[in-house]
Structure 1
Amino acid sequence: MAEERSLRTYRANCHCATYVYEVNLPENIKNGLKFNSSYYSKIDGIYQCTQSSDDIKFVKGDPATLSSYNFGAARHQFCPNCGTHLFRVDSKTYVNIRAIQNIRVRDLDTKSIDDPEPTTWTPPKFTGSEPPAKIEDAKIYTGGCHCGAITLALKSKPIDSTYEASLLECDCSICTRNAYLWIYPSKSQVIITGASNFGYYSFGRGIWKKSFCRTCGVPIHNHIDDYTPEQIAELPEDNREWAVDHLDWSPINLRVLDGVDLDELPVRRIEGSKFGKVPYINP
């Protein structure tokens, strides 16, 4: 007879707090599951399996209104407003630990398991124009979301162990939940197709708009509008300098790029949770 796990009740939520729920999981979570598949390479969810769907109780939001993306044998559920991935559902229900409050995801041990997927899936092909930036010894990287609605091209110095500019993993509330790994090209280095399928989510200063595919939920980039001088003048005073300094940026989530070995990159971990303008308060 299998030994019963000692459970406790955790609270979890998408970042925008449209969905808040409680879930019964083992005490002192120290590890999680990672699924090996093309989809999970883009969203980097870390999961715990519930004993029963009854272990999940929503205290805010209707789970029937979550966005769903079906791939392989699983249904992947995410918030349609902020893009936070909450559940994987196949014959069992898995909870994304990234959405659970007060768990330091960086400290978790993970176990990888194979996730069979349709052999017909191939990375969506980028069909847009070449980014106009002039960069010596540049390479063009392509990628996009998983369903193919959004594709992009990035012109950059080689993105490998020799890359010298910033590559960051931030532990702030949104970067933890949506598993971003950031690279910081200028707008002229990036061309995106299918932008009409973006969902945008903004908080804090309201300058950055974090994008995700509304169909498959893959987080893509950090968008800043092309503010005119008049629009910048209308911003709150403490936001004007920030907007001017970042106006030409187009940060990209490295996980969406095809053919980049993330494990060899000199990614720097930062504690963005400590210097946000407005502290995030868990609902």
Structure 2
Amino acid sequence: MSFPGPLRGNCHCGRFRFTLSANLGDVFACGCSLCRKLGCLWLRVAPDSEFTVSRDDGVLVAYEELKFCGKCGTPVMGEHQAGPLNGEVLVNARAIWGFNPFEAGIKQVVAVSEEGRALQPMDMVPGALPAKHHGSCHCGKVRVQLLAEIPGLEVKEDNCSSCVRNAYIGVYPTKDQVRVHGRENTFEYLYGRKFNGEAHCKTCGVLVFNNVYGPLISVFDSLPPERKEVVLGIYWKNMAMQPLNVRVLDNVNFESLDVNRADEGTEGYVLVD
């Protein structure tokens, strides 16, 4: 996909915005553990490109070579210190208006060895239970255990304004099938109707899980009894979920999963000045 410059981009909450005088051509998916957990798709900023910050509310948080918004979690910029992208100034293409990851021409780059970065196995963490899958943010301050097998759960991905920026691939177990360690190390981002809250690690920015709140149950009071029974069944099913980001799960090849993808786009998404 290609758009004439200048490109316009921002974190989801809009507290950091930029323009870039470049064409949106090929983007790069890095294979390092941080980029895989964040799902960043990198666009090189050429030396002759004009990168202009149009709004900066001081929300960017630095973690290793990454900068992400500390309010909404969107990864915005990066500068790799090793590997094929070493020394390149990079912008996360997912933050650019009109970018559709389902249509992008994505080039894979192989990351350098990350020997020594492995976290302590979850089975050694106090309070951990035997699980089918273990996972974590990149820095390890937030960890999860999934007690169910992924093949038995629905896996979904869409390109709404938030999910496209966070590269979210959701799996939807029930709360009793999930253990979360380190909730206190997350910040939550709610937007729109605030039915869901995205839980990001405060340190590395990785979106680990979602909290489901839903509407007030009183909104269903006006429904006819037969309709209300059906709707409440769906409501309580959703409220019992503990959605996880598949990208944070260790030893899961999410590229090979049967993912239900919805190409819905970002219609209706607006920024408030």
Q: In the alignment, which of 14, 29, 38 is matched to residue 34 of structure 1? A: 29
Preserved CA contact (<8 Å) 2:68 2:77: yes
Q: Distance in 2 between matches of 1:236 and 1:42?
A: 41
CA distance change for structure 1 residues 145 and 252 in 2, over 3 Å: closer, same or farther?
A: same
Offset at 1:232? 4.2
Q: In the alignment, which of 45, 48, 73 is matched to residue 43 of structure 2? A: 48
Q: Distance in 1 between matches of 2:195 and 2:258?
A: 27
Deviations 1:153-197 (A, max 9, x none): 00113x2xxx25321111111111100111000000001011111
**1:167 corresponds to 2:155:** yes
**1:281 counterpart residue number:** 270
Q: CA RMSD in A?
A: 2.8
Preserved CA contact (<8 Å) 2:100 2:265: no
Q: Distance in 2 between matches of 1:65 and 1:186?
A: 33
Higher mean C-alpha displacement, 100-109 vs 177-186: 100-109
Q: Distance in 2 between matches of 1:19 and 1:150?
A: 25
**1:144 corresponds to 2:136:** yes
Number of aligned residue pairs: 253
**1:80 corresponds to 2:76:** no
Structure 1 unaligned spans of 5+: 1-5, 132-138
One-letter amino acid of the counterpart of residue 82, structure 1: C
One-letter amino acid of the counterpart of residue 128, structure 2: S
**1:3 counterpart residue number:** none
CA distance change for structure 1 residues 78 and 41 in 2, over 3 Å: closer, same or farther?
A: same
**1:192 corresponds to 2:180:** yes
Offset at 1:282? 4.8
Question: What TM-score results when the alignment is normalised by the length of structure 2?
Answer: 0.83
Preserved CA contact (<8 Å) 1:53 1:93: no
**1:21 counterpart residue number:** 18
Preserved CA contact (<8 Å) 1:141 1:153: yes
Offset at 1:236? 11
1:46-195 equivalent positions in 2, closer than 5 A: 46-52=41-47, 55-62=50-57, 65-70=59-64, 75-90=65-80, 91-126=87-122, 127=125, 128-130=127-129, 140-157=132-149, 159=150, 163-195=151-183
One-letter amino acid of the counterpart of residue 45, structure 1: C
Deviations 1:61-104 (A, max 9, x none): 14x6410111xxxx100000010000112433101000000122
CA distance change for structure 1 residues 266 and 118 in 2, over 3 Å: closer, same or farther?
A: closer
Preserved CA contact (<8 Å) 2:134 2:144: yes
Offset at 1:55? 2.2
SS in 2 for 1:156: coil
Preserved CA contact (<8 Å) 2:16 2:69: yes
CA distance change for structure 1 residues 58 and 243 in 2, over 3 Å: closer, same or farther?
A: farther
Q: Distance in 2 between matches of 1:268 and 1:82?
A: 25
Preserved CA contact (<8 Å) 2:194 2:213: no
Question: What TM-score results when the alignment is normalised by the length of structure 1?
Answer: 0.80
Higher mean C-alpha displacement, 265-274 vs 183-192: 265-274
SS in 2 for 1:101: coil
Offset at 1:110? 1.3
Offset at 1:52? 3.3
Higher mean C-alpha displacement, 52-61 vs 256-265: 52-61
Deviations 1:222-269 (A, max 9, x none): 112599xxx74499989x967544211111000000111212211111
